[in-house]
Amino acid sequence: MPKITARRNAARRNTVPGAAVPGAALSGAALSGPAGAAAPGAVLSRLFAPLVAGVTYARLLHLIVGWIFVGVLVMIYPGTYGLGLGEILSESIVLDSVLLALVALIPAARRAEGVQARLLLVPDREEDIATEPSRTWADRRRTAGWLIGRVALGSVVGFATALGLNSGIGLLVGPDGLRYLPFAPPAAFAFGWFLVYAGRLQLAMAVRLLGPSPAERLAEAELRAERLLERNRLARELHDSIGHALTVTVLQAGAAREVGDPAFLAKALEVIEETGRQAMDDLERTLVLLRDTPAGANGVATEQPGIDQLPALFDTVRAAGSPVEARIEVPAGALPGVLSRESYRIVQEGVTNALKYAPGEPVEVRIAVRAGQLELCCANRLPGGGVRPPAGGTRPASGGARKGGKGLRGIRERATLLGGEAAAGAADDGSGEWVLNVRLPLRLGS
């Protein structure tokens, strides 16, 4: 038995990771074969792939543009006739820095440099380099630093390239060219990696100096948050309106099939038709918002239903077979538009849940304004006095809030966004009622 275990352990140690043949054991000598040759090949690929990559030469072009800028200015001032290298550099550096700082004062300079850097430096993510104009003095200072740093690094790379090529060609075509020929491949390899690292350094500078400012990052984050909130709002609109319509339609169709009375059947079909039309109107309004169509374009109304349209909603619920007792104590015009619309959707979801989980049971709705708050209450008695099960089948504890279901989650999200709170669950007094309570502050509803 110990011998078998030892063999198995040896097999595990010698098995090549990822081998397709289970249980096969390879000896140490086998690892030096073709399977072991993959590692040197990967090393060679990492060493030479950057030297032939197009991104390296795109970045080199970006560097050479900065060198050309310096060369043109040097030819104009101070020139090269009769001056030493130190004199040329001392005078041209001051002039170049002043001119580049003045260019950085132009707001569009940052945009132009950002676009060029994205095209030639090829960042991993384009968002790392901004293409917005300068808006603050901090943006202008960073742009000035970028321009000066870009020209300085480009000049170093340009002069090194020119001197290296000139010296190398001079040595190879000289009388002792054969002596220097063996050194040409290592020198070319080293110079190639010099260009690779110079391009990467230029990219790092661009990300650092041309990257989005804190204000731009905050604006982008706010824009993403607004888009996410808008998508969530549209999802809730679809869930509430279409879910209500489908619930009423299913209940009416089922009741008409069970009763079989022609008059009741005609009334049920009428309710189904009216509910379907309302759902189509809600869907059309939502699609208008998704298309970013201006309000009222193409003759389509984009105004969402408000609290004043709740009586029509209650009529639909009554037609579905559930009596509704509603008391709305809200003065006309007392609610801001957004609070009125969100209140309608909350009540709509509440009565839809009542139709879904307690069809035929009375529904009681109370809406009032008290102490600067809008209070909404929707209660219904559950069949048999039981507790309504959430979506998924798990029944909540007595008096607890319902945990499952997208509808209640949407109600809580609406209430939270408006600065209020929502709670739902079985009544604590043991009456067998399911109660939805929502409180929304009036001052945050505008």
Looking at residue 364, its pLDDT comes to 92
384 confidence band (pLDDT: 50, 70, 90): low
Partners of 374 in beta bridges: 369, 440
Considering only residues 33 and 338, tell me which one the structure prediction assigns the higher pLDDT. Answer: 338
Provide the CATH topology of domain 220-444: Heat Shock Protein 90 (3.30.565)
Q: Can you give the pTM of this predicted structure?
A: 0.50
* 176 has pLDDT over 90: no
Considering only residues 408 and 271, tell me which one the structure prediction assigns the higher pLDDT. Answer: 408
For the stretch 404-444, pLDDT in tens is 456 788 888 888 878 889 998 888 777 788 899 999 988 75
Those residues whose C-beta lies under 8 Å from the C-beta of residue 429, and which sit 6 or more positions away, are none
Nearest to 309 by CA among 340, 273, 271: 340
Q: Which residues of 35-46 are buried (b: 16+ CB within 10 A; e: fewer)?
A: eeeeeeeeeeee
263 confidence band (pLDDT: 50, 70, 90): confident
* 74 has pLDDT over 60: yes
* 293 has pLDDT over 70: no
**In the chain, where are the structural domains located?**
2-36, 53-212, 220-444
For the stretch 133-156, pLDDT in tens is 998 999 999 999 999 999 999 999
334 confidence band (pLDDT: 50, 70, 90): confident
Considering only residues 28 and 311, tell me which one the structure prediction assigns the higher pLDDT. Answer: 311
Cα torsion angle, 329, 331, 336, 340, sign: positive
At 430, which amino acid appears?
G
Structure token pair of residue 58 = 């795109």
* 1 has pLDDT over 60: no
At 188, which amino acid appears?
A
* Cα separation values, 201 from 56, 121, 164, 189, Å: 12, 10, 20, 18
Contact by Cβ (8 Å): 359, 400: no
First to last CA, the chain: 80
Structure token pair of residue 121 = 């430096």
Partners of 436 in beta bridges: 378, 424
Name the phi and psi angles at 391, rounded to 5.
-60, 125
Looking at residue 342, its pLDDT comes to 84
